[in-house]
Each structure stands twice: as structure tokens, then as C-alpha cells.
A and B are shown apart, each in its own frame.
Chain A
């Protein structure tokens, strides 16, 4: 339509000011995020030290019992784990941080010699892909239901849906996981009983493999979706109701704006609070991942964490944990930064915290 790119409007008064502001905020958030990661990494370092049975010592003792001299054993262990077990604490710590900055998470104990980063990197995609699809589906379904219950909020159906959403939102993830597992693999054996892909298929981009991945992923993704849909639905509903009651919507209608335009006004304004829970939902997804992967025997980060506890493979536990934390903090920073981009009111407030 002619008007789309039509008359030239003057550039926003805020001009480049807010972009400079944004850059400044980006720097500040990055620093905060790095500090948080550092705090967590340090805490984990001390935790690992506290963990029963210092793994390095175990391996060292093992080596020595196989006939190595103490020095040889020490250097072999150092080569494996990246540090010498009996070094003074400060040195160990420095070494640890240095390794982290090089993305070296150490070496696994259970799978002797394999770098933790490899193990974690091969498990991560399985968690991330499932969680991402879960977030997408729960978002889509949740927002639609939320809008519906907001528009028709005087009906009993809307009341019922809202209550249902609130209840599902309050259910523990493992409850959903166990029930889904039980109903759809045991009672009605529709889906495979766990695992991420059938061992009978050859890995690669062939239909069988991909198909098997998909069938194995459906139930876990359904779990993620159900776990998250309630929050989206309830937040969307309250946000839409609140915006519908805003003065400018009535003003828009009284000025004769097209219903479609008014709907767009409502949508963009109602979306704002949803953004804040986007960051939180990622964190919750990781928490749920532990249960879902446990019940469905899915080889992701969650299962990695649990199995590494059983095998006392603490470097792996450490590595998986750090990866999860970094991902969550990064997502939070991104969300914080993106907010001024979508809400112009925040741009002017220089130095305002969330």
C-alpha cells in the first residue's frame, strides 16, 4: 500500500543518544554477567575440592599401584587433569580459571582421558534442541490460549481454561514426565520407551535415522511444552486484559482506527511482559531437563549430570553445570539488552535497572 513507505517522518528525537546508552548498558551487563559466571565458577571450584574422594588422588594412587614412581604418577595425573593435585590452593585456582578461559573444562575420570568439553559438547545438542522446541511450542500454544481467555474472559470456558492453565503450571515436571511416559509407552505403546534414537538406524541424514529421532523426541518435547504452556497462557491473559483496559486503546477506537490496527496496538503492548519471562523460562527448562531426560533416558546434559554423580565423575559434573549456568546467564543478558529495543520508554531512562 502506498502509505507503507510513504511520507517521510522526521527521525526520532532520541536519535543516536539511546544507541550510545544501549552500548553502555551492554558493557555494564556483560561485566555483571561475567562476574556472575566467575562467582559460580569459583563456587564450583571449591565445591569440587570438597567432593568426597578427590578424583585426581584416586587416579594418582591407581597409577602408583601400577608401579609408577610418585613423580611419574604426579605428572601423569597433571597431564590428565590439568593440575597437580597437591599444589597450593591459590595455584590450583589460578590454573583452573586459566583453563576455563581457554574453554578447557578438564578431563573426565570415568571415561579416562576424554576431555570434558567433548563429552559435554556431544550431550548439549540433545538438551538444547528439545528445550528450544519445547519453548517454541509452549509459547505458541500458551499465547494463543492466553489471548483467547483474555478476549472471552466472561465465559465459563475461559474460566475453566485459566484454572487448567494455572494447575498445569503448578505441576512438577517429573509428574508430567512420568504420566506421559506411562500413558503413551506402557498403556498405549505408541512411542518408544526412551532413548534418543533407535540403535537399529544408521546415523546420518537418512529418513530412518531422522524419523527415529523425531519419534523419540515427541514425548520429551511434549513434556517441555506442557511444563511451560501454563506460564505463557496466564501471563498473556493478564497482559492482554491489562492492555485492553488502557486508555489509548479506547482512544484508538474512538478515533475510528481500523480493528486490525487496534489489534496490532494491543499485541505489541501486551507482548512486553512476555519478554521478561522468556529469560526465566530458559532457566526453568534446564531444571526440567534433568527430570525429563532421566525418565526418558535421553542422553542430554541433564542425564549427564545425574550419571556423573553416580560414577563420581566430578569434572564432567562441573563442566555440565558450568555450561548450563553460562547459557542461562547469557540468555538473561540478551533478554535484558533486547528490552530497550522493543520498549522505547526504557531507552530514555538512563541507568535505570530492571
Chain B
């Protein structure tokens, strides 16, 4: 380990992680750097943040998993990486820097359009309906190519074919099919293929296995793993299912009420979770071989935009360890090695 990393570990909590960190596998330079991002939506009670002061790194060549309940802001965060926050939401502060692209939030119009699809691939949450129902898949691949000024369209189709074949489908048949002729799993795979066909190196998958049955889930996850490795991608997977993330991701980030409450290498976080929310999530998961009574759900419900506490830690209402200090201010990010978390109590425990 380098001296720099040693120094980083022994310093008190900082809100920014050191730029070059030793991690488990690869060179560790961040392909995506999100800094202090806040996305707000107007409500009758004034503008409220769906994503609040989020800072996150996506390490190049690794799969990062983003876990959170519905309403935690994870999809909004993902859309921000494409500068695609839906009206009337607005990015009110922060930056999103992507290697090879620059600050995404500064891009508009044609330059933004170029980046989408070609540099960043996005696989839809509802891949069930992410295709034009009136056109066969192949024609839509061609549309994609034409929109991005691809000169060799035959080559593009070949690439699509090989992607589809790789995923275990009959490529010819799929390219000739309409969306309604494909099963849910097939549509998901087509979604993945479309995200990769232009050789994007950053891929975002929003809830890739929701709405699929268990067997199809397994095969889709396997495909994601395979494709990620083969193409040396940087992948972000978003899911509310911590099992999926735990299975696949190299790094995990846990989101609650628009904030990242914990992140770090997956094995480490799952083995020794620091934040009470992460602990709660893990305790709530029933083990397949074990007494179901051991699983304890988290008390309460996830907050929506209007019920987030205005002062203090957002998790306080449901936290079993809450103290008075937790009601005063939002906890700063503490670092312990490769793991970061935002909790007063956990920070106290860790020191």
C-alpha cells in the first residue's frame, strides 16, 4: 500500500476520498467522479432534493452497485450521469465528470446526444417497453447507428448480431422481431445489447432484473458479468435487491433519502457494515437456508420527498442507535480504509 493511502486512513473524516486509492483488483482510477451533486424538485412546499450532496466515484473496470429502497434517489442519480434529469427536476449544485467526456452537466444539445449511447450506455429500468413497438429490433439498431453518424451500418449490425449471439439468443430472429414477440428476458438482453453496440465503455443498468423471474434473473446477471469482463467496462448497477448487488458488484454504495450513507468494497461492506441502515438491510434479508424468523424488517417506511427530516441525519426516524447529536446536523463522511460512511454513532464506534 502506498504512503498516500496510509495517510488517508489515519486522517480524520473528510468529505472527499483521495483521488488514487488502492483497491482490490485494478488500477483504481475513477472513470466517473460525482462531486457534491444535488438534484431538486419543486413541490408545493418548495424545492426539495431527491439527491443531496452526493459524492461518488465509479472505479474504472469495476462493477459498482448502488443499493437503495424506492424513493432513495438512485434512479435520479443514474439519470444525472446522462444529464437527463426529468423536468421539473433540476441539478442545483455539483458536478459529474466522466473520463473521455468531461463534465456531463455542461453538455447540451448535439454534444450531449453524441455522448448518450456512444460513450455511456444506459439499460432501462423498464426494459420491457424500451423499444418502439412498431419497428423491428434490427431497424431500431440502424436508427441508432444513423443518429450517431455511424458510416458502416453493416458493421454495426454485425456487432449487434455478435452481441446477441453472445447472450445466447438467435440473433437473426431477434433482429427481425418486434418487441411484443420477445419475452421479458429477451427484451432485457436486447436492451443491454443496444447499450453496448456503439462500444460505450461506461454502462449503467437500472434495476436490470426487476420484473424478471428468478431463472431469467440469474441468466441476465451472468450475461452482465460476462459482458463486463470481456469488454473491460465500467459498470454501475442499480438495484433495491442487495442480493443481486452482493453477487455481482466489486464496490457497493448504499443510498438512503437522496444521500449515500455508506460505500466501499462489496465484501468488506457486507461483512462489516458500519451504517445502521446497511446493517438493517442485511438483517432484513432472509437467508435461504435458515430460520425466516431471523430476518428482521426495518421499522417504518422509506421517506418520500416531503417526509425527509429537515434537520439532522435523514435516517434518524428509523434508526435504533439515534442520539440527540443525530438531530443537530447531518453526519459528515467518515473513512475507514476503503469504506466510507456517514453516521455519528458509527464514527464513534470505529475510532
Contact = CB atoms under 8 A, between A and B. Distances in A.
Interface of A: 1-3, 6-7, 9-14, 246-248, 250-258, 261, 265, 268-269, 342-345, 348
Given A7-B154, A254-B82, 16 more contacts: A2-B153, A3-B145, A3-B146, A6-B153, A9-B175, A10-B173, A12-B177, A12-B178, A13-B181, A255-B117, A256-B114, A257-B117, A258-B146, A261-B143, A342-B134, A344-B134
Interface of B, secondary structure class, is helix
Contacts of A11: 176
Contacts of A345: 133, 178, 180
A345 B173 CA distance: 17
Contacts of B136: 9, 12
B113 A258 contact: yes
Nearest to A349: B180
A123 B25 CA distance: 86
A289 B144 CA distance: 48
Interface string B144-156: 1111100101101
Interface in B146-174: 146-148, 151, 153-154, 156-157, 172-173
Given A9-B136, A13-B177, A256-B115, A247 B130 contact: yes
A10 B138 contact: yes
A343 B134 CA distance: 6
Given A13-B177, A343-B134, A254 B154 contact: no
Contact of A7 (B122, B147, B153, B176): B153
Interface string B174-191: 011110110000000001
Contacts of A258: 113, 146-147
B193 to A, nearest CB: 12
B312 to A, nearest CB: 35
A257 B177 contact: no
B319 interface: no
Contacts of B178: 12, 14, 344-345
B129 A10 contact: no
A12 B176 contact: yes
Contact of B154 (A6, A248, A343, A348): A6
Interface string B213-243: 0000000000000000000000000000000
B308 interface: no
B117 A3 contact: no
15 contacts: A2-B153, A9-B136, A9-B139, A10-B172, A14-B181, A251-B130, A251-B131, A254-B117, A254-B124, A256-B148, A261-B143, A265-B135, A345-B178, A348-B180, A348-B181
Contacts of B180: 344-345, 348
Contact of A1 (B139, B146, B194, B195): B146
Contacts of A6: 142, 153-154
Interface string B95-137: 0000000000000000001111110001010101111111110
A155 to B, nearest CB: 14
B84 interface: yes
A265 to B, nearest CB: 5
Contacts of A13: 173, 176-177, 181
Contact of B176 (A9, A246, A254): A9
A38 to B, nearest CB: 37
B146 A247 contact: no
Most B-side CB within 10 Å, residue of A257, A343, A345:
A257
Nearest to B134: A268
B147 to A, nearest CB: 4
B144 A257 contact: yes
- 9 shortest A-B CB distances, which residue pairs? A256-B117, A256-B116, A251-B130, A258-B147, A247-B129, A255-B117, A10-B176, A7-B154, A9-B138
Contact of B122 (A1, A247, A254, A257): A254
Given A255-B194, A256-B115, A3 B153 contact: yes
B132 A265 contact: yes
Contacts of A10: 138, 172-173, 175-176
Contacts of B153: 2-3, 6-7
Residue in A251, A255, A344 whose Cβ sees the most chain B Cβ within 10 Å: A255
Given A1-B146, A7-B142, A261-B147, A253 B84 contact: yes
Contact of A269 (B82, B130, B133, B191): B133
Contacts of B157: 7, 9
A254 B148 contact: no
Contacts of B130: 247-248, 251
A260 to B, nearest CB: 9
Contacts of A9: 136, 138-139, 142, 157, 175-176
A261 B134 CA distance: 13
Contacts of B131: 248, 251
A265 B134 CA distance: 8
B41 to A, nearest CB: 16
Chain B CB within 10 Å, residue with most, of A9, A261, A345: A9
Nearest to A269: B134
Interface string B181-212: 10000000001001100000000000000000
A29 B29 CA distance: 66
Contacts of A2: 151, 153
A257 B134 contact: no
Contacts of B194: 255
A156 to B, nearest CB: 17
Nearest to B144: A255
A7 B161 CA distance: 13
B81 to A, nearest CB: 10
Contacts of B122: 251, 254-255
A342 to B, nearest CB: 8
A2 B156 CA distance: 14
A115 B157 CA distance: 65
Nearest to A247: B129
Nearest to A12: B176
Contacts of B156: 7
